[in-house]
Amino acid sequence: MSKNIDTSTNYASNVRSLYEEYPFPLRDPQDEARRLVIAEQESIGKLNHYCFRGQQAFGNGFRVLVAGGGTGDHTIFLAEQLRNYDASVTYIDISRTSMDIARERAHIRNLNNIEWHHCSILDVASLGLAPFDLISCTGVLHHLPEPERGLAALRGVLSPQGAMSLMLYGRVGRLAVYAGQELMRLVNDGVEDRRSKTRHALSVVRGLPETNWLLRGGGPNRVLNEFLDDESNLNDVLLHEQDRAYSVLEIYEFLAGAQLDLVEFTSFHSDPPSFRCMYDPMVWITDPALRSHVSSLPRPRQQAIAEAMSCMITCHGFYAAPAGADRIASPDDLDMVPFFLYFDPTNLAQHFRAAAGRPCGLNYRKSAVQFQVGKHSADLVAGIDGARSLGELFDMVHRNSGGSVSHSELQRDFMAFYEPLNGLDILLLRHRSIAPFPEFPFESVN
């Protein structure tokens, strides 16, 4: 299915021309035959956990809007996961070149649950398809001349019980990027042709001294190759003419303007990845008096402190909803089923037993957490199979202990590892009434 709505008044012409000439991210549709790009923020297991209290079956005509779908990563991943559900995905984008790439990717995968529209997100109401149960909008709003208009347009087609999965650039984490953009503006002063701007930028990147902000912290060879081998990425990052970023506090303000609540920050596959635990300042604050003071501050301000301390959050991935309270699946509900997402727990119980009586460390994709495991944490984590509810898990460990441990003790020992692992988005919950969700090999991320 497809409709074309091309209203030139509702997009920035310079942004559209950029993505017509340099569709982003750079994708070869033929690669779909060998791998699936996982947009992990859109894993329906995560969406269910954070946005729908663990109780969303993604059936009964569940409707998804991917607003600004680009070359299709989020659209394809969502449609692939929902292939065997009574659900549909609607794609919109201002770049026909990008849409053609996304459609070809879907064709190769034989995905028939996507509707395609060539238009601006500001025109979404005119499609007559509202309301949507989920709106995914990644890396789009911050490229609008008036991001508030874009968010309001999406808010207008969201179901009252629906949720949004959003990504906005991080102000603190992208300071080096904005220094790079300023450099490119200086170099390209008076140059109008995009190809010439690109050639100049490539030459500048090749000659950057090691003192340049772009080369700090990420390894010069990796950073250089990201730009030299991918002109689409070079243009999206360093030559974009319509680009703004947000701090944590600005995100809260931005959402409030559209009568939306921030439900939770979540991991985003940037490099290095951003995880929810990175929004907790207690990861770095060890002084007891300062911890006491900071913990007394409102949560948004605590998260802002963490952002300013780490300086590594380049992209804010988060979920938002009209009413954000009680959206997240609760470990206090014993009918919840704990399950691991994109993580192999095979050696975890042994690791917990070896850490008995001392802090337990876990390294995951360039991030690390430390926590104190409980006496029964190893037995509990060994019993997580993606099918047992918490109540069944506690009953099993209680029986195996000869009845010597109470449910309250087991709940405490479960939370000892649930909270840090949930902070990495690798241990989540779904209600026992909801069947397990499809999961794809994480190695296929590209």
Query: Do residues 46 and 110 both lie within one domain?
Result: yes
* DSSP assignment string, 375-426: TTHHHHHHT--SSS-HHHHHHHHHHHTTS-S-HHHHHHHHHHHHHHHHHTT-
Question: 429: closest CA among 58, 55, 136?
Answer: 55
* DSSP assignment string, 186-249: HHTTT---HHHHHHHHHHHHHT--TTSGGGTTT-HHHHHHHHHT-HHHHHHHHS-SS---B-HH
pLDDT digits (tens, 9 = 90+) for 18-58: 999 999 999 999 999 999 999 999 999 999 999 999 999 99
How many CB atoms are closer than 10 A to CB 165? 26
The SS3 call for residue 350 is helix
List, in order, residues 6 or more apart from 298 with CB less than 8 Å away.
Answer: none
What is the chain's alpha carbon radius of gyration, rounded to the nearest angstrom? 23
Dihedral (C-alpha) 230, 235, 239, 240: value to the nearest 10 degrees?
A: -140
Q: State the average pLDDT over residues 278-282.
A: 95
Query: Do residues 192 and 250 both lie within one domain?
Result: no
Q: Last residue of a domain, which of 274, 289, 321?
A: 321
Spell 421-443 as b/e; 16+ CB within 10 A means b. Answer: bbbbbbbbbbbbebeebebbeee
At 446 the pLDDT is 39
Query: Do residues 31 and 120 both lie within one domain?
Result: yes
Domain containing 135 — which CATH number? 3.40.50.150
d(CA 122, CA 154): 8
Per-residue pLDDT band at 5 (split at 50, 70, 90): very low
Query: Do residues 94 and 108 both lie within one domain?
Result: yes
Q: Last residue of a domain, which of 218, 238, 258?
A: 238
How many CB atoms are closer than 10 A to CB 67? 27
pLDDT digits (tens, 9 = 90+) for 342-392: 899 999 999 999 998 788 989 888 788 899 999 999 999 999 999 999 999
Domain count for the chain: 3
Per-residue pLDDT band at 441 (split at 50, 70, 90): confident
Query: Do residues 33 and 84 both lie within one domain?
Result: yes
At 318 the pLDDT is 97
pLDDT digits (tens, 9 = 90+) for 74-129: 999 999 999 999 999 999 999 999 999 999 999 999 999 999 999 999 999 999 99
pLDDT digits (tens, 9 = 90+) for 241-271: 999 999 999 999 999 999 999 999 998 876 6
Checking if the pLDDT of 10 tops 70, the result is: no
Query: Do residues 179 and 165 both lie within one domain?
Result: no
Q: State the average pLDDT over residues 186-201.
A: 97
In-domain check, residue 443? no
Per-residue pLDDT band at 12 (split at 50, 70, 90): confident
Per-residue pLDDT band at 445 (split at 50, 70, 90): very low
Query: Do residues 35 and 119 both lie within one domain?
Result: yes
d(CA 428, CA 421): 9
In-domain check, residue 330? no
In-domain check, residue 440? no
In-domain check, residue 421? yes
Query: Do residues 249 and 131 both lie within one domain?
Result: yes
At 216 the pLDDT is 79
Checking if the pLDDT of 432 tops 50, the result is: yes
pLDDT digits (tens, 9 = 90+) for 169-186: 999 999 999 999 999 999
Kindly report the backbone phi and psi dihedral angles of residue 412, in degrees, each rounded to the nearest multiple of 5, phi listed first: -65, -45
Query: Do residues 420 and 343 both lie within one domain?
Result: yes
d(CA 89, CA 115): 6
Q: Would you say how long the chain is, in residues?
A: 446
Number of Cα atoms under 13 Å in the Cβ half of residue 306 = 25
At 256 the pLDDT is 98
Distance between terminal CA atoms of the chain? 28
Checking if the pLDDT of 444 tops 80, the result is: no
pLDDT digits (tens, 9 = 90+) for 216-249: 766 778 788 889 999 999 999 999 999 999 999 9
pLDDT digits (tens, 9 = 90+) for 291-344: 999 999 999 999 999 999 999 999 999 999 999 899 999 999 999 999 999 899
Show contacts of 223-227: CB within 8 Å, 24+ apart.
227/201, 227/202
Question: pTM score, two decimals?
Answer: 0.94
In-domain check, residue 280? yes
Find the domain containing 185 and state its range: 175-238
Q: Last residue of a domain, which of 186, 219, 238?
A: 238
d(CA 181, CA 405): 59
d(CA 28, CA 112): 20
Query: Do residues 146 and 272 both lie within one domain?
Result: yes
Query: Do residues 250 and 294 both lie within one domain?
Result: yes
In-domain check, residue 267? yes
In-domain check, residue 331? no
Query: Do residues 116 and 153 both lie within one domain?
Result: yes
In-domain check, residue 442? no
